[in-house]
C-alpha cells in the first residue's frame, strides 16, 4: 500500500499553491480533483464571435434554463458542475456555481486582487463586533508580496489605509469614462482608482502579456492571467512528486485509531467506485462550503459530528459578499463618441475601494465598509436597446449613438458573522453518489443591507456629479453569486471557539490543514483569491516545517 506524504483535496487557488509548494520542497503529493482536466484550445473559446455559435452566445433554451450562472454559457458548456446536488434550508436562496475542473474557479475568476489590511484583521478591536483575526498584517504582508510576484498583479501605489499597496505590474490605462468618473467621484470624496487585477500588462515569469480581447470570464487560452493550471500545476508536475487524480470526488477524510487523518476516501466518478488514498497529512482546499461538507461528512468514533469539530464551529460563520447593481444609466457626454474598447479586461479597470468608517470606525450607520466597481461602455451586445423608444432608421441610429455611453456600478458588501448563517449535512437528501448533501442556511444581515442602501445613494451622487443620466438600480443578487464565501473553518487561538489555529491547522487533528477561504474570519470588502493564495502559501510552509520537525514523518528528502 502506497502512502503519500500529503493528500491535497482541490486544485484551485488554495490547493494549487499548496501542491506547488509541497512538491517543490520534495514531498510526495496526491492531489484529488472532483472534475476533469480542461484542454485550453478546446474548452477556452473566448475569441469566438457571437455568430460562431448557433445561439449567438445566448445559449440554447435548455442551456439557459439549466445554467448555474452567467459564466455557464454557450462559450464553455460542460465546464460547470450540474450533476451534484446541494440543498438549501427553507427560506435560503443560494446560487452556487461550482467549477470542479482542474484549477477550479481560477480558470474564470474576476482577477481583482486587493490585499486585506490591518483594519480588516483588527476590525473587532475597532468597532467591538465579533473577534479579531489571529494574525497581523505585518505577518501576512511578505506572503502577499511573494504571491504578487508569482502571479503578476497590475495596479498603482494608492496609499489608502484599507488597501495596503503591493508589488505591481504597470496598470491598465484609464479609459475616457474613468477620467469622467474619477472627477465625479472625487467631488464627493469617493476614491476612484485603478483596480488591482491579476492580469499581465507585461510578459511575466514566462507568461505572455494580455492582449485585451476582453473575454477573460470565459477562460484565457494563452494564460495571460493567473490560474492554477497555467501558473502552478505545471511547476508541481515538473518535480515528479505530484500524482493528480481527476474525477475524484472526496467524500470523507479517513482517521487512524488515534483520530488522526490517515487518508481520504473518494468516489471515482468514472467508475463510480470508492477508492481510498493514504497520506501522512491531509490538506482540504475544496472551497469554503465543499471543504466544510467533506469535514462534516468525516464522522468517526473520535469525531462524531465531523472531523476536527470539537468546537462545534465547523460549518458555522458562513459569510458572503452582497452583490448588486447599485445604479445604471448612461453618460450623455459620450453620445455619438467613437467606439472604444472599454471591456479590455471583461471586468472593471477601476474600483472604488472602501472609503467608509476609515478614521472613525462607527461613523456610518453600518460597521466596516464596502467597495464598488464601475461597469459599462462598448460591450458585445447593446443591452440598452429596450430603453430606446421606437423602430426604424432613427432607432438604429440611436442604438449606435448610445453604444459608448452605458454606465453602471456594482457593490461588493461583506456580510458579518451570524449564528443564522452556516452549512450542515441535510438529514434526508443524498446526491447521485449516495453522499448526504450539504445544506446551506443563509440570509443577509442588516449591516450588509444598510451598505446596499448607502452604496445606492453614493452612486446617485456620482451620477449627479458626472452629469450622467440615472435610469435605476438592480436588485440584490442571490447569496452565493459573488463566489466569495468564507468562514466555515475559522482560524483562532482558542480551540474551544475555532476550528483551525492561526496557521490553518486543525486544533483537533494536527495533520489536517485547511487551505481556502473557510479559515477567514469574514470576507472583508475585498475579493478572496489573493488572500487565499497568501494564507495557503503560509500554511504550506508551516506544513513543511512540521515535516522537517518530525511532526509528520516522511521518507522523502526535504
Binders in 70-109 for another protein, by CB under 8 A: 70-71, 73, 105, 109
Cβ proximity to another protein: between 217 and 518 the closer is: 217
Cβ–Cβ < 8 Å for 253, 139: no
Of 84-92, 232-240, 254-262, 388-396, the window that binds another protein (rule: CB under 8 A) is: 388-396
Q: What is the C-alpha separation between 233 and 402, in angstroms, rounded?
A: 45
Write down the least CB distance from residue 41 to another protein, Å: 17
Number of chain positions touching another protein (CB under 8 A): 97
**Residue selected from 39, 41, 42, 49 as contacting another protein according to rule CB under 8 A:** 49
Q: Determine the interface stretch with another protein among 19-27, 35-43, 270-278, 393-401 (rule: CB under 8 A).
A: 393-401
Binder of another protein out of 45, 145, 158, 215 (CB under 8 A):
215
Site for another protein in 427-486 (CB under 8 A): 474, 481-484
Give me 381's grid cell.
Answer: 451586445
Contact pick of 309, 348, 421, 536 for another protein (by CB under 8 A): 348
Q: What is the DSSP string of 212-235?
A: --S-GGG--TT--B--HHHHTHHH
- In which residue are the cell numbers 461597469 written? 375
List the interface residues with another protein, window 506-535 (CB under 8 A): 527
Identified binder of another protein from the candidate list 189, 206, 304, 390, rule CB under 8 A: 390
Q: How far is the CB of 351 from another protein (least distance, A)?
A: 8
Directed axis angle between helix 137-151 and helix 529-548, to 10°? 100
Strands ordered across the beta sheet of 436-441? 87-88, 436-441, 422-430
* 558 scored as a contact of another protein (CB under 8 A): no
Q: Is 8 helix (H, G, I), strand (E, B) or coil?
A: strand
- Taking the complex as a whole, the smallest distance from the CB of residue 412 to another protein amounts, in Å, to 6
- Cβ–Cβ under 8 Å, residues 339 and 378: yes
Whose Cβ is closer to another protein: residue 438's or residue 530's? 530
Please name which of 200, 107, 206 lies closest in space to residue 155, comparing C-alpha atoms. Answer: 200
Structure-block grid coordinates of residue 516? 481556502
Q: What is the dihedral of CA 224, 22, 259, 491, to 10 degrees?
A: -60
**Min dist. Cβ of residue 119 to another protein (A):** 20
Residue carrying C-alpha cell 470576507: 523
Task: State how far the Cα of 328 lies from the Cα of 326, in Å rounded to an integer.
Answer: 7
Interactions with another protein, residue window 105-144 (CB under 8 A):
105, 109-112
Could you give the dihedral angle defined by the CA atoms of residues 427, 288, 324 and 114, in that order, rounded to the nearest 10 degrees?
170
- Contact set for another protein, span 263-322 (CB under 8 A): none
Quick check: 110 and 527 in contact, CB under 8 A? Answer: yes
Q: Which stretch binds another protein (CB under 8 A): 135-143, 276-284, 360-368, 375-383?
A: 375-383
Contacts of another protein in 153-212 (CB under 8 A): 172-176, 178-180, 182-183, 195, 201, 210-212
Among 45, 63, 237, 300, binds another protein (CB under 8 A): 63
Amino acid at each position: 500500500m502506497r502512502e503519500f506524504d500529503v493528500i491535497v483535496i482541490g486544485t484551485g487557488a488554495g490547493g494549487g499553491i499548496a501542491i506547488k509548494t509541497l512538491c517543490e520542497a520534495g514531498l510526495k503529493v496526491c492531489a484529488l480533483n472532483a472534475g476533469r482536466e480542461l484542454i485550453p484550445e478546446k474548452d477556452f473559446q473566448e475569441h469566438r464571435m457571437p455568430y460562431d455559435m448557433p445561439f449567438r452566445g445566448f445559449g440554447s433554451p435548455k442551456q439557459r434554463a439549466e445554467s448555474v450562472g452567467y459564466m455557464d454559457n454557450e462559450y464553455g458548456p460542460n465546464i460547470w458542475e450540474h450533476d451534484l446536488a446541494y440543498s438549501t434550508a427553507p427560506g435560503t436562496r443560494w446560487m452556487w456555481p461550482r467549477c470542479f475542473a482542474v484549477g477550479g474557479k481560477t480558470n474564470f475568476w474576476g482577477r481583482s486582487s486587493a490585499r486585506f489590511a490591518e483594519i480588516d484583521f483588527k476590525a473587532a478591536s475597532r468597532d467591538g463586533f465579533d473577534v479579531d483575526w489571529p494574525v497581523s498584517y505585518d505577518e501576512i504582508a511578505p506572503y502577499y508580496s511573494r504571491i504578487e510576484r508569482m502571479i503578476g498583479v497590475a495596479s498603482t501605489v494608492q496609499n489608502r489605509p484599507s488597501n495596503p499597496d503591493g508589488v505591481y505590474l504597470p496598470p491598465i490605462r484609464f479609459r475616457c469614462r474613468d477620467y469622467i468618473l474619477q472627477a465625479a467621484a472625487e467631488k464627493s470624496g469617493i476614491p476612484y482608482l485603478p483596480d488591482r487585477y491579476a492580469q499581465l500588462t507585461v510578459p511575466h515569469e514566462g507568461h505572455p502579456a494580455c492582449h485585451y480581447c476582453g473575454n477573460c470570464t470565459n477562460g484565457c487560452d494563452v494564460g495571460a492571467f493567473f490560474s492554477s493550471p497555467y501558473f502552478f500545476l505545471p511547476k508541481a508536475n515538473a518535480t515528479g512528486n505530484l500524482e493528480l487524480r481527476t474525477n475524484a470526488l472526496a467524500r470523507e477524510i479517513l482517521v487512524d485509531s488515534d483520530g488522526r487523518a490517515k487518508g481520504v476516501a473518494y468516489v471515482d466518478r468514472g467508475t463510480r467506485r470508492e477508492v481510498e488514498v493514504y497520506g501522512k497529512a491531509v490538506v482540504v482546499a475544496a472551497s469554503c462550503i465543499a471543504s466544510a461538507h467533506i469535514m462534516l461528512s468525516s464522522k468517526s468514533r473520535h469525531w462524531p459530528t465531523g472531523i476536527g469539530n470539537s468546537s462545534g464551529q465547523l460549518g458555522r460563520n458562513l459569510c458572503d459578499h452582497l452583490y448588486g447593481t447599485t445604479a445604471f444609466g448612461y453618460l450623455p457626454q459620450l453620445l455619438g463618441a467613437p467606439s472604444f474598447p472599454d471591456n479590455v479586461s471583461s471586468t472593471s479597470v477601476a474600483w472604488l475601494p472602501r472609503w467608509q468608517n476609515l478614521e472613525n470606525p462607527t461613523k456610518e450607520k453600518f460597521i466596516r465598509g464596502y467597495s464598488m466597481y464601475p461597469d459599462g461602455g462598448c460591450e458585445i451586445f447593446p443591452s440598452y436597446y429596450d430603453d430606446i423608444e421606437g423602430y426604424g432608421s432613427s432607432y438604429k441610429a440611436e442604438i449606435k449613438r448610445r453604444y459608448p455611453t452605458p454606465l453602471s456600478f456594482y457593490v461588493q458588501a461583506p456580510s458579518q458573522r451570524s449564528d443564522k448563517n452556516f452549512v450542515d449535512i441535510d438529514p434526508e437528501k443524498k446526491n447521485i453518489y449516495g453522499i448526504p448533501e450539504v445544506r446551506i442556511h443563509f440570509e443577509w444581515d442588516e449591516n450588509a443591507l444598510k451598505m446596499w442602501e448607502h452604496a445606492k445613494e453614493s452612486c446617485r451622487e456620482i451620477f449627479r456629479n458626472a452629469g450622467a443620466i440615472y435610469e435605476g438600480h438592480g436588485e440584490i443578487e442571490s447569496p452565493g453569486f459573488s463566489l466569495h464565501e468564507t468562514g466555515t473553518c475559522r482560524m483562532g487561538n482558542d480551540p474551544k471557539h475555532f476550528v483551525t489555529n492561526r496557521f490553518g491547522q486543525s486544533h483537533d487533528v494536527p495533520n489536517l490543514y485547511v487551505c481556502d477561504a473557510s479559515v477567514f474570519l469574514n470576507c472583508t470588502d475585498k475579493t478572496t483569491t489573493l488572500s487565499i493564495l497568501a494564507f495557503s502559501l503560509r500554511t504550506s510552509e508551516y506544513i513543511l516545517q512540521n515535516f522537517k520537525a518530525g511532526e509528520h514523518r516522511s521518507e522523502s528528502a526535504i
